[in-house]
Structure 1
């Protein structure tokens, strides 16, 4: 019985290790979560998402489209945000995580509207990225938002 339990735990750990996403997919999935938070997929937000991903990761138009498509699917299937933020926490230092939050703010404000649910989603992501409240505010103000 104990050996069966050990095998089950080992299998779960191996599955979890193979479920890791690329840093590009993790960042893009979080951006997709913010973009869809208010229930509207505006053309401005889609365009800004393409611009952000292409610039941030130096991707071609086709690579950008592929990573967005993959990340939208990951976001659809996600049960939480931790699976994405944990990848970012493993690969990025504090300054880089603040930059990710700046990108989230840029995308949320791409349609010149900032819905409360978008702000809440960014705050939740910021917490999962282990950023202090002052760093969350700093990221927001860095892109010109009050």
Structure 2
């Protein structure tokens, strides 16, 4: 009887852990998508290039199919952010410094995708990098990599 009870508790705990992991992954994807969408909004000139670059960033970071990445970005567009704290804290908690640097590079790629870096875009990426505890040197290296990728 105790073994059956122990197995039942283990089953329930395992199911909750799996559901929690899925939920965390969904939260992470949404947090990244929200920041990419905000990056597209910053300069008030949303173009096809920015959308395609943001979708490519989601595909690259999470291995999503293009349609799923676009749907995630569309869902992120419906979010009404009042603060960047929630997405930033989710990302800090779940991604390594290297992965956060890749996200910052993707933000820079969106900023450079229309071949014009707006001052608000520059300020936004630097602010997000700071919130994600990405060092300034890494932020500038990511900026250069993104600029080189877009211009070549």
Q: Root-mean-square deviation (CA), in Å?
A: 1.8
Q: 1:100 deviation in Å? A: 0.6
TM-score computed with the length of structure 1 as normaliser: 0.79
Change (3 A) 1:119 1:60: same
Of 70, 87, 106, 1:65 maps to 70
| Residue number in structure 2 paired with 1:41 | 46
Q: Which segments of structure 1 move beyond 4 Å, counting only runs of 4 or more?
A: none
| CA distance, structure 2, for counterparts of residue 107 and residue 53 of structure 1 | 12
| Residue number in structure 1 paired with 2:137 | 134
| Residue number in structure 1 paired with 2:92 | 89
User: How many residue pairs were aligned?
Assistant: 125
- Larger Rg over CA atoms: 2
Q: 1:21 deviation in Å? A: 6.0
Kindly indicate whether the alpha-carbon contact (under 8 Å) linking 2:32 and 2:87 is maintained by their aligned counterparts in 1. Answer: yes
TM-score computed with the length of structure 2 as normaliser: 0.76
| CA distance, structure 1, for counterparts of residue 121 and residue 72 of structure 2 | 22
> Which structure 1 segments of 5+ residues have no match?
1-17
Change (3 A) 1:131 1:56: closer
Relative contact order higher in (CA < 8 Å, ≥ 6 apart): 1
Kindly indicate whether the alpha-carbon contact (under 8 Å) linking 1:108 and 1:118 is maintained by their aligned counterparts in 2. Answer: yes
